[in-house]
């Protein structure tokens, strides 16, 4: 089969089996025919409001069928969806609109005047044929904001694919996929829509809740899903009877990515599901390269994020740009194909003339080519010349049974330049001194100088965190 537009793929599923339930959410099931019709109605409305081919259309909706209606309506109009968090402040939304003004917005009200606004994705149907067209860019998400600098990542691939071919070796061609993360997040967005376009049925949770995840898997016989480490932690904290093996027996594999996974957490998760059902992928929104490791491989190389796949090459370089020896840490550079997979709006890529690119992560490779990550270079805390990786601190804190969640960050200091602080959520607030003592025992001088107690989540629903914002919140 040859490539088809996303719009044509949906239309073909609606023709082949109009009553097939493609989406299940809190409102029930939505059939192929219903999704196709709603997408056409929205496409007509967007075109009526002046949206043209390759325009950006912002989508800021909560998880559910309407998010899918919005994106398929945008693709059918020949435009590019720009998924945005529903929790952006007016200032954050305005900063993104200043980088690239969308032609229209669906969901949350845009911050800038003059942008056509549709409060929801459902509009009255209109007659008339729509041309079968594909935008030259299939998605343009905003990055997580972990660095505090807003930017937009425009995919180089068009809104078309061959639905008969698997998207990736770790994404089954047919599955009942449970969507637990926010659809505005790039990885969740990518695998939900790529899955749907190649034969998946989507079971969408309003937001992640560990007990609801288990119930949804059991009820809908879900076979595949994407998780981040914070979700994995919460699943493992469920009582054994709630997460009993037979309740999740339908799961053939889960993929986790999006944040470093502490080895102790990963080992416990593998003990729960079995190594053959746990995959990990390292990649960014930019898709400039990716690595993969199965649970079985990980048990042989704890802490690794795998070897390159999908035509990816990996090099580790020092600050001068020279390759470092095997086993030595440096900046991770990747290359995948001859052409860039993305372009930034609001930032400059670090891609060099030979096509090598870096997202700013520090790591090393072993003699067999397995990649091990240390932390992001932007996040490293320089304490008097001692470069401390927040992930190292967080792994120790997260391993304590009283810790629900932990995030480490740097704070200016007159003596050391910067020192480590950390914020924690605990099962029992009175355990704070015990957790602090355990961290000092295991980390020594790299232990947090101050441990801050938080009663609210430290990461968003996608498992992302802005360390600078936490430093401002707790220290000022």
Q: Whole-model pTM?
A: 0.84
Select the more confidently predicted residue: 377 or 316. Answer: 316
Q: What is the pLDDT at residue 1? A: 65
Lowest-pLDDT choice from 205-219, 265-279, 329-343, 371-385: 371-385
Q: What is the pLDDT at residue 476? A: 73
Token look-up 């416990």 returns 268
Q: What is the pLDDT at residue 145? A: 52
Lowest-pLDDT choice from 117-126, 144-153, 459-468: 144-153
Structure tokens that stand for 418 in this block = 């910067």
CA–CA gap between residue 330 and residue 319 (Å, rounded): 8
For residue 373, the cross-strand partners are 363
Long-range CB contact pairs, 390-395, < 8 A, 24+: 390/420, 390/467, 391/260, 392/443, 392/446, 393/420, 393/422, 393/439, 393/443, 393/446, 393/447, 393/448, 394/260, 394/262, 394/422, 395/260, 395/262, 395/263, 395/264
At 140-168, the pLDDT tens digits run: 998 755 445 678 999 999 999 999 998 88
DSSP summary character for residue 161: E
Structure tokens that stand for 403 in this block = 């810790």
Q: What is the pLDDT at residue 48? A: 96
Measure Cα distances from 338 to 323, 353, 354 in Å.
20, 11, 9
CA–CA gap between residue 437 and residue 433 (Å, rounded): 6
User: What is the radius of gyration, based on Cα positions, of the chain?
Assistant: 23
Express as a percent the part of the chain with pLDDT over 70. 98
CA–CA gap between residue 36 and residue 16 (Å, rounded): 12
Residue among 60, 275, 333, 291 nearest 168 (CA): 291
CA 290-349-289 angle, to 5 degrees, is 10
Residue among 103, 46, 49, 96 nearest 75 (CA): 46
pLDDT at 185 over 60: yes
CA–CA gap between residue 305 and residue 373 (Å, rounded): 7
Q: What is the pLDDT at residue 146? A: 47
Domains of the chain: 4-235 (3.40.50.12780), 260-376 (2.30.38.10), 381-474 (3.30.300.30)
Lowest-pLDDT choice from 2-16, 259-273, 461-475: 461-475
For residue 365, the cross-strand partners are 371
Sign of CA pseudo-dihedral 425, 430, 434, 437: positive
Q: What is the pLDDT at residue 131? A: 93
pLDDT winner (highest mean) among 106-115, 337-346, 439-448: 106-115
Q: 335: left (phi > 0), else alpha (psi -120 to 50), else beta? A: beta
C-alpha 329: how far from chain center: 25
Lowest-pLDDT choice from 193-207, 240-254, 269-283, 450-464: 450-464
Q: What is the pLDDT at residue 471? A: 86
Average pLDDT of the chain to the nearest whole number: 92
Q: What is the pLDDT at residue 147? A: 47
How confident is the model over 269-282, as a mean pLDDT?
97
Residue among 112, 62, 53 nearest 83 (CA): 62
What's the distance, Cα to Cα, between the start and end of the chain in Å?
58
Q: What is the pLDDT at residue 140? A: 96
pLDDT at 431 over 50: yes
At 62-99, the pLDDT tens digits run: 999 999 999 999 999 999 999 999 988 888 899 999 99
Express as a percent the part of the chain with pLDDT over 90. 70
CA 175-177-179 angle, to 5 degrees, is 170
Look at strands 56-60 and 104-107 and give their pairing.
Answer: parallel
294, 279 contact by CB (below 8 A): yes
Element at 388 (helix H, strand E) = strand 386-388
Q: What is the pLDDT at residue 467? A: 85
Element at 189 (helix H, strand E) = helix 186-197
Element at 135 (helix H, strand E) = none
Measure Cα distances from 301 to 156, 268, 269, 304 in Å.
34, 15, 16, 6
Select the more confidently predicted residue: 462 or 62. Answer: 62
Q: Greatest CA separation found in the chain?
A: 71
Sign of CA pseudo-dihedral 41, 46, 52, 56: negative
pLDDT at 21 over 70: yes
How confident is the model over 386-409, as a mean pLDDT?
89
pLDDT at 385 over 80: no
The Cβ of residue 175 has, within 10 Å, a number of other Cβ atoms equal to 19
């Amino acid at each position: 089969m040859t490539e088809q537009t996303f719009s044509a793929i949906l239309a073909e599923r609606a023709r082949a089996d109009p009553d097939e339930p493609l989406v299940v959410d809190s409102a029930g099931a939505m059939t192929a025919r219903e999704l196709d019709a709603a997408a056409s109605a929205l496409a007509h409305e967007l075109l009526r409001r002046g949206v043209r081919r390759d325009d950006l259309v912002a989508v800021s909706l909560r998880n559910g069928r309407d998010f899918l209606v919005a994106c398929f309506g945008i693709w059918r109009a020949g435009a590019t969806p720009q998924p945005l968090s529903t929790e952006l402040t007016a200032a954050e939304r305005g900063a993104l609109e200043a980088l690239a003004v969308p032609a229209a917005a669906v969901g949350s009200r845009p911050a800038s005047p003059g942008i056509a606004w549709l409060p929801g994705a459902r509009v009255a149907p209109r007659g008339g044929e729509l041309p079968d067209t594909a935008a030259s860019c299939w998605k343009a998400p905003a990055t997580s904001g972990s660095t505090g600098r807003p930017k937009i990542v425009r995919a180089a691939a068009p809104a078309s694919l061959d639905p008969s071919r698997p998207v990736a070796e770790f994404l089954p061609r047919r599955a009942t996929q449970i969507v637990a993360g926010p659809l505005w997040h790039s990885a969740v967005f990518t695998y939900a829509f790529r899955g749907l376009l190649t034969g998946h049925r989507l079971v969408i949770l309003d937001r992640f809740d560990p007990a609801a995840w288990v119930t949804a898997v059991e009820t809908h016989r879900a076979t595949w899903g994407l998780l981040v480490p914070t979700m994995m932690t919460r699943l493992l904290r469920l009582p054994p009877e709630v997460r009993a093996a037979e309740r999740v027996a339908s799961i053939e594999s889960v993929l986790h990515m999006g944040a470093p996974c502490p080895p102790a957490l990963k080992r416990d998760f593998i003990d729960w599901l079995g190594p053959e059902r746990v995959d990990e992928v390292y990649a960014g929104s930019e898709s400039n390269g990716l690595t993969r490791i199965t649970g079985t491989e990980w048990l042989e190389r704890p802490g690794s994020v795998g070897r390159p796949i999908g035509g990816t090459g990996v090099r580790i370089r020092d600050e001068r740009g020279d390759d470092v020896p095997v086993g030595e840490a440096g900046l991770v550079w990747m290359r995948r194909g001859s052409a860039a997979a993305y372009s930034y709006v609001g930032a400059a890529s670090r891609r060099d003339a030979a096509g090598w690119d870096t997202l700013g992560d520090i790591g090393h490779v072993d003699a067999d080519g397995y990649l091990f990550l240390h932390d992001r270079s932007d996040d490293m805390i320089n304490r008097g010349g001692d470069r401390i990786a927040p992930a190292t601190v967080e792994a120790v804190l997260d391993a304590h049974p009283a810790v629900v969640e932990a995030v480490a960050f740097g704070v200016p200091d007159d003596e050391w330049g910067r020192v480590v602080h950390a914020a924690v959520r605990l099962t029992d607030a009175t355990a704070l001194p015990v957790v602090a003592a355990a961290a000092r025992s295991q980390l020594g001088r790299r232990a947090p100088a101050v441990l801050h107690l938080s009663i609210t989540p430290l990461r968003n629903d996608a498992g992302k965190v802005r360390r600078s914002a936490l430093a401002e919140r707790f220290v000022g």
